[in-house]
Amino acid sequence: MNTLSQPTRRMTDLIETLVAQTRSGAIRWSQTDAPGVFVYTSRSGSVLVSGPATGFTAIVSGHSIKALDGRGDVVESFSDGPALTNGSPYPPLRQLFELIVERYSEGNPLLESLRNEAQAARPGGSSAAG
C-alpha cells in the first residue's frame, strides 16, 4: 500500500473523478459492515474508501482508498497516514470521504428518532406523539 506519500497520478485521477461524480450524484456508494468504510461498485471492479478510526487508533490511521478488480484483488491503494489536528496529508481523499459520509452514511437510528421527535414537539412541552 502506498502510505504517507503522494498518490500515483492514476490514483489522483481516480480520486478527482470520484469526488466529481459523487458530488453530481452520478455514482452511488454503499456503507459496508465495517464502520467508516464505503464501497462503490462498477462493472469492472470496485473502490473502497475509509476514514480514520475512532479512539486511540485515530492517531495512527488516516483516510485510505483501494481499487479492486472484479475478483476483489487490490490493484492499487493509497493511505494518507495519521489524521492529526483534523487535517489530512492528502486533502482530496479526506474531501471524498467526507462527501461520501454526508451523502451515504446510514447514521444512527436513535439520533434520527430523537431528531424526528424534536421536530414534532409542540410549544409548551407537548409533542405529536404524546
| Interval 105-126: pLDDT, tens | 766 566 667 777 888 887 776 5
Higher pLDDT, 88 or 104: 104
Residue 28 belongs to a domain:
yes
Residue 63 belongs to a domain:
yes
| Interval 4-21: pLDDT, tens | 467 899 999 999 999 999
Residue 130 belongs to a domain:
no
Specify the pLDDT at position 60.
55
Residue 14 belongs to a domain:
yes
Overall number of domains in the chain: 1
Q: Are 22 and 29 in contact (CB under 8 A)?
A: yes
Residue 125 belongs to a domain:
no
Nearest to 63 by CA among 110, 21, 96, 108: 96
Q: What is the pTM of this model?
A: 0.72
What range does the domain containing 6 cover? 2-120
Residue 54 belongs to a domain:
yes
Residue 84 belongs to a domain:
yes
Specify the pLDDT at position 52.
80
How far, in Å, CA of 100 to CA of 126, rounded?
36
Angle at 4 between CA 86 and CA 35, to 5 degrees: 55
Q: Are 31 and 38 in contact (CB under 8 A)?
A: yes
Q: Which residues contact 14 (CB under 8 A, 6 or more apart)?
A: 47, 65, 67
Residue 90 belongs to a domain:
yes
Q: What percent of the chain has pLDDT over 90?
A: 48
